[in-house]
Amino acid sequence: MDLLNTLVDKGLRRELPTREEALAVLATSDDDVLDVVAAAGKVRRHWFGRRVKLNYLVNLKSGLCPEDCSYCSQRLGSTAGILKYTWLKPDEASKAAAAGLAGGAKRVCLVASGRGPTDRDVDRVAGTIKAIKEQNEGVEVCACLGLLSDGQAERLREAGADAYNHNLNTSESTYGDITTTHTYADRVDTVTKAHAAGLSACSGLIAGMGESDEDLVDVVYSLRELDPDSVPVNFLIPVEGTPLAKEWNLTPQRCLRILAMVRFVCPDVEVRIAGGREVHLRTMQPLALNLANSIFLGDYLTTEGQAGRADLEMIADAGFEVEGAEQVTLPEHRAATAGAGCGSHDGGCGAQESAGCGAHEGSGCGSHEGGGVCGSAPAAAAASAAPLAASAAGEARTDLVAVRRRGAGTDLAPNA
């Protein structure tokens, strides 16, 4: 296919595809999806080899957010039955982080729901970063606390944060349909502040909220212009109790095309599969590793993820390897200019949250939460009892959604 050959050549040269080419990737048929994956996989392997970076989320403060992000289980007015708790103490957060690091993660993403941190909140997080770094040599720490005020990014950097995540989520033209309590420009401003402070910037999107192909291309081109080191791609988990609970628009093939388009537009950045991979990619998750070079290990912010051991087995069975702490994530030309002191890591967590991290959640981290994910005991059990279902868009797979009831904020061991 001439289109794919052209996109591979451009990706190897870091040349921006045309909008028409990006839209054409999304418009390819299911019959061509393996060709699309193979082409984008050449670009992924050129810049990142067969390494997969593991990231681990710690939800420092869950629920009760004053923002109205429609995708989020922690939003104002949400009736989702998620865990609700105030700030974890530094030793509690460090203990939670240690579980993920023991499971193979090299980056810890600290997420808190809310519009943005107060100066006192920044002090709290600074203490948590110190505790984690004192007990885990070489760990990378990304913060995702929402909209930043002047000087806060610098204070986080001084406290030892390596990166900051805040997702754009969707295109500027449709942003007001998703959130009304802050603006698209507010989000751009926070990513810019993080960049300017020397933090490795992480910013991504959420797919499946009813957006058009043009919206997806718009937000990815905006991300390329912002030039984050890390781009988390969330797939909406429609959570009961949120306005988007009925938006089941994705198929595994659609998700693969979206990831391929992101890789072609952002060839040399860390592309992270964040929230929703277990729900929407399902058994095709291993194929997605040919497109993305980063995932979250274990659970997300308010929902359960695939078992940590299953994540590691999936990576190995697909012929990939877990990226070691001593390995540099970014290509040399990017690592040299990533956030000050961030040469050995990319930036970004990935958990859709109201804070904006990258795990699509109430905070926005990059693992779009609020909805659950499969692979957990309750979700997997439900899935095994249910009849096999076709992967048609619009089919609700609520059997694959489970609210997190373990790990941070509970007395139960985390999934890592």
385 CB-contact burial (10 Å; exposed 0-12 / middle 13-18 / buried 19+): exposed
In a domain, 408, yes or no: no
In a domain, 147, yes or no: yes
pLDDT tens profile 366-414: 544 433 333 333 343 334 344 444 457 768 999 898 888 888 889 888 8
- In angstroms, the CA 381 to CA 121 distance is 39
- How many structural domains compose the chain? 1
Can you give the CATH number for the domain in which 226 is found?
3.20.20.70
Angle between helices 252-265 and 19-26 (to 10 degrees): 160
In a domain, 371, yes or no: no
In a domain, 209, yes or no: yes
Find where tokens 């760990």 sit. 139
pLDDT tens profile 159-204: 999 999 999 999 999 999 999 999 999 999 999 999 999 999 999 9
- In angstroms, the CA 24 to CA 303 distance is 34
In a domain, 15, yes or no: yes
For residue 118, how many other CB atoms are within 10 A of its CB?
13
- In angstroms, the CA 363 to CA 275 distance is 12
User: Domain range holding 215?
Assistant: 2-339+347-365
Q: Which amino acid is at 171?
A: S
For residue 199, how many other CB atoms are within 10 A of its CB?
30
**Residues annotated as catalytic (active site), given as ranges:** 65, 69, 72, 109, 142, 202, 272
In a domain, 375, yes or no: no
pTM, entire model: 0.89
Q: Which amino acid is at 197?
A: A
In a domain, 393, yes or no: no
pLDDT tens profile 292-343: 999 999 888 888 889 999 999 999 999 999 999 999 999 999 987 776 434 3
Find where tokens 């988390």 sit. 232
In a domain, 236, yes or no: yes
Instruction: Determine which of 45-49, 262-266, 299-303, 406-410 has the lowest per-residue pLDDT on average.
Output: 299-303
